[in-house]
Copies of this chain bind each other. A is one copy, B any other.
Amino acid sequence: MLDSTFPEVRSLDLFADMSDESYAKLMRGAYLQTFPPHVDLITEGEEADFLHVLVLGSVDLFSSWNNRETSVSIVKPVSTFILAATIRDARYLMSARTMEKSRIVMIPSQDVREIFDLDAGFARAVVVELAACYRSVIKTTKNLKLRTALERLANYLLSRSKDHNGAQHFALDLEKRQLASVLGMTPENLSRAFKALQAYGVAVSGENVELSDITELEKFAKPTTLIDDNQT
């Protein structure tokens, strides 16, 4: 299904270190598909038949219980989702929907498990990716359990600022309702939280954020690499 006309996939970290032969095998049953915005890709509880790799766009991983819903994380290119379910041949723990137009590679889970045993380079890449995912969720848990909503928002803003080379001004990359869900609060509360952070030099207008006193904001937010750093 997938051939060399998609070098973008081959060069992803996850596939870069494997043999051509393994790659060919892996891709034999794979699809590369483009989805419009707001399309449901996966529903939690289903069997994990495919490993998904997001090549372009963005995907919301969310979960529901008892009529409540929450965003567990937002996936940006290039990353996999549903890797753990694929490995364990288990059911999805989260649902997924596209947030914008997205290009996604879908690889049959069984092939992933098969090639994992055959190709050490791929195995290493899978483990490294999975470990990164694990550490990211641990950080989320710490963020939720150790901080108030206001503190989470403050640190989120500082984090985004760092993503923009420490810029004082940048645009939110999420709708506010979406951001509220990611941060574990209601949209109403997010509005009030933004207002409360005015005291630390935060100004928001639409999607535009201005941090006029990053030092003061940091004094309040107390960011730490052990929670707020995406890389380590």
Q: Which residues of A contact B (CB under 8 A)?
A: 44-45, 63-66, 68-70, 72, 83-85, 87-88, 90-91, 93-94, 116-117, 120, 123-124, 126-128, 130-135, 137-142, 144-147, 184, 222, 224-227, 232
In the assembled complex, which residues on chain B have CB atoms less than 8 Å from the CB atom of A87? 127-128, 131
Contacts A93-B226, A232-B91 hold; do A133 and B134 have CB atoms under 8 A apart? yes
5 extra A-B contacts, CB within 8 A, seeds A70-B142, A72-B138, A88-B128: A70-B145, A72-B145, A87-B128, A88-B132, A93-B226
Q: Smallest CB-CB separation from A139: which chain B residue?
A: B93
Contact between chains at A227 and B65 (CB < 8 Å):
yes
User: How many copies of this chain?
Assistant: 2
Rounded to whole Å, the gap between the CB of A128 and the closest CB of chain B is 6
In contact, A63 and B131 (Cβ under 8 angstroms): no
Taking a contact as CB atoms under 8 Å apart, the answer to whether B134 and A130 are in contact is yes
A162 to chain B, nearest CB (A): 18
Q: A123-B123, A130-B131, A226-B44 are in contact. Are A63 and B94 (CB under 8 A)?
A: no
Report the minimal beta-carbon distance from A186 to chain B, rounded to whole angstroms.
12
State in angstroms the CA–CA spacing of A140 and B87 once bound together. 20
Q: Which partner residue on chain B sits nearest A69 by CB separation?
A: B146
CB distance from A16 to the nearest CB of B (A): 16
Cβ of A140: which chain B residues have Cβ within 8 Å of it? 141
